[in-house]
């Protein structure tokens, strides 16, 4: 062997030793802060371990953490904090509703309560390793800055929780609020915080009625009985005849009486009798006196739902309604849409109206909400005022809209039924003009006229009725 060959052998052995050392040499001693690499890592990467039904997958596993895994965990925790469950995760099982997830973005919602141990590592990743709201589990310290950066850049956007509703929902539109299904507990009643849209918000005219318009019409004088023909008068009356003839009394410009004779309401059982109630809203007004005259002539009792301001201005008409056998109910003080008011304002509308009715000498019974606009909060307010059972209607003549006696009568013909409540308005002359024909038609159909209290048997405060009892 030549000298050069002898030199190559040791050099080759040294190179081989270096290669063996680099490929299969002994590993350095394991550091306590470095996650151990299990021998089955390669197998786990190709074939996932089977999951038993009793052990659902957790957010954290015994596998070593990686930036991609930490980012996915952060996305999962943030989604659960916003009230969502990420696809393919077990957040529903591992993160109960009482979990504490503090969002890092400004303006996101924060829930209170202890954080579940299965998502604490991911929580620390989502909060940038600050440790706020997290507990020490004895595992290695917070991830490296590179892991936090990857988590921040790859986290899925979260959906913030909806803020509490501070404004009322859109009004419930209904052409006939008294009969429409508005979503509340009863027909014609909307949910507590839902206003009811009305066809017209213009309140009726409030005015003071003159004493002549409020007073009853004087009864017609009976025709004198025919007498024997008198002797032909002389051209000039004698002095004795002139002296004994009484002078004619001057005509009185005022009404002769405060009210007419009361209408006797029939003593009937509306469960076996075809009863119906005529009701009149928005008064008293300048046509109310004429309506009372017609009802007295026909001997028909009715129910009046009066506005408090008008009742205060016209106490004589309120007193006359009660004295002539009619029922008087409240229609609020100023005719607002009650579903747009606070419960305190609703209560004040009822109480002030009831006080005006009592001051005039009548006792209020039942209430009709203006426009028939009712929700559950309004009914609850009605329950705090005695005598404030809610009454709507079954026959809406819409006389305020068309101002036609013929159309008013047509509406009654089309919708009248036993136990019915007819809605009209005594503040319109055309409505009063329609009353004789309406009474004639209903009477020909076999109906008996009664007040609302008789028709319903009474309505407790805080409840509402649309009609009465019937056969």
**Which residues are marked as active site?**
281, 425
C-alpha span between 230 and 228 (Å, rounded): 6
Query: What is the 3-class SS of 64-104, one letter each residue?
Result: CCCHHHHHHHHHHHHHHHCCCCCCCCCHHHHCCCCCCCECC
- Cis-peptide into 284, omega within 30 deg: yes
Q: What are the Cα distances from residue 237, in Å, to 228, 234, 240, 248, 278?
A: 20, 6, 8, 17, 58
Q: What are the Cα distances from residue 29, in Å, to 19, 322, 407?
A: 21, 106, 102
C-alpha span between 121 and 142 (Å, rounded): 8
Secondary structure (DSSP) of 358-375: HHTT-----B--GGG--B
Note whether 451 and 278 are within 8 A (CB). no
C-alpha span between 421 and 327 (Å, rounded): 14
CA 443 to chain centroid, in Å, comes to 39
User: Of 254, 247, 163, which Cα lies nearest the Cα of 211?
Assistant: 254
C-alpha span between 67 and 33 (Å, rounded): 17
- Nearest-5° angle of CA 456, CA 461, CA 464? 55
Going by C-beta distance under 8 Å and a sequence separation of 6 or more, which residues neighbour residue 94? Answer: 56, 58, 59, 116, 118, 119
Q: What are the Cα distances from residue 70, in Å, to 60, 119, 123, 147, 214?
A: 9, 11, 9, 7, 86
Secondary structure (DSSP) of 234-295: PSS--HHHHHHSPPPPPPPSS-S-S--PPP------TTTS-EEEEEEES---TTHHHHHHHH
CA 42 to chain centroid, in Å, comes to 63
Q: What are the Cα distances from residue 277, in Å, to 265, 416, 438, 448, 460?
A: 11, 10, 12, 8, 18
Can you read off the two tokens belonging to residue 333? Answer: 């003080």
Going by C-beta distance under 8 Å and a sequence separation of 6 or more, which residues neighbour residue 336? Answer: 203, 349, 370
Alpha helices in 360-462 (DSSP H): 376-382, 399-402, 405-415, 429-444, 452-456
């Amino acid at each position: 062997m030549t000298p050069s060959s002898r030199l190559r052998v040791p050099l080759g052995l040294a190179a081989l030793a270096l290669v063996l050392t680099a490929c299969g040499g002994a590993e350095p001693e394991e550091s306590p802060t470095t996650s151990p690499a299990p021998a089955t890592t390669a197998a786990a990467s190709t074939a996932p371990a089977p999951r038993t039904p009793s052990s659902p997958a957790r957010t954290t596993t015994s596998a070593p953490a990686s930036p991609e895994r930490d980012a996915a965990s952060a996305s999962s925790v943030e989604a659960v904090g916003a009230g969502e469950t990420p696809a393919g995760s077990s957040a529903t099982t591992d993160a109960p509703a009482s979990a504490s997830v503090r969002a890092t973005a400004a303006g996101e919602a924060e829930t209170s309560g202890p954080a579940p141990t299965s998502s604490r590592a991911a929580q620390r990743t989502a909060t940038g390793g600050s440790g706020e709201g997290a507990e020490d589990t004895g595992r290695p310290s917070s991830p490296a800055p590179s892991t936090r950066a990857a988590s921040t850049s790859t986290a899925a956007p979260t959906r913030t929780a909806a803020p509490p509703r501070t404004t009322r929902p859109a009004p419930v539109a209904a052409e006939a609020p008294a009969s429409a299904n508005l979503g509340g507990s009863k027909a014609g009643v909307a949910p507590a915080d839902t206003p009811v849209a009305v066809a017209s918000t213009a309140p009726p005219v409030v005015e003071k009625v003159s004493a002549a318009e409020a007073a009853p019409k004087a009864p017609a004088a009976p025709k004198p009985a025919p007498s024997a023909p008198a002797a032909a008068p002389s051209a000039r009356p004698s002095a004795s005849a002139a002296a004994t003839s009484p002078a004619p009394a001057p005509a009185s410009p005022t009404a002769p009486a405060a009210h007419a004779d009361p209408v006797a309401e029939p003593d009937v059982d509306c469960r076996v009798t075809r009863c119906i109630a005529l009701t009149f809203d928005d008064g008293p007004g300048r046509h109310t006196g004429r309506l009372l005259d017609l009802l007295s002539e026909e001997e028909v009792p009715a129910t009046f739902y009066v506005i408090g301001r008008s009742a205060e201005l016209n106490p004589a008409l309120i007193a006359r309604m009660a004295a002539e056998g009619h029922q008087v109910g409240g229609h609020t003080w100023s005719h607002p849409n009650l579903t747009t008011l606070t419960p305190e304002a609703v209560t004040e509308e009822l109480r002030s109206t009831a006080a005006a009715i009592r001051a005039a000498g009548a006792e209020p019974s039942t209430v009709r909400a203006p426009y028939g606009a009712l929700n559950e909060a309004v009914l609850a307010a009605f329950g705090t005022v005695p005598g404030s059972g809610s009454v709507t209607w079954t026959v809406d003549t819409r006389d305020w809209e068309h101002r036609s006696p013929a159309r008013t009568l047509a509406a009654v013909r089309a919708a009248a039924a036993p136990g019915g409540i007819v809605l009209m308005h005594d503040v319109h002359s055309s409505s009063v003009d329609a009353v004789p024909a309406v009474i004639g038609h209903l009477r020909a159909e076999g109906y008996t006229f009664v007040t609302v209290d008789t028709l319903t048997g009474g309505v407790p405060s805080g409840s509402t009725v649309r009609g009465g009892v019937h056969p």
